[in-house]
Amino acid sequence: MFDLLEGWLRHKSDMVNYEAARAICQMRGVTAPQLTRSIAQLQLFLSSPKPTLKFAAIRTLSALAVSHPSSVAACNVDMENLISDPNRSIATYAITTLLKVRPQPNNVSCLPI
Three-class SS of 23-86? HHHCCCCCCHHHHHHHHHHHHHHHCCCCHHHHHHHHHHHHHHHHHCHHHHHHHHHHHHHHHHCC
Q: Inter-axis angle of helices 51-67 and 14-25, to 10 degrees?
A: 10
Would you state the pLDDT for residue 83?
A: 94
Tens digit of each residue's pLDDT (9 = 90 or more) over 6-39: 887 888 999 999 999 999 999 998 898 999 999 9
Would you state the pLDDT for residue 2?
A: 76
Tens digit of each residue's pLDDT (9 = 90 or more) over 50-92: 999 999 999 999 999 999 999 999 999 999 999 999 999 999 9
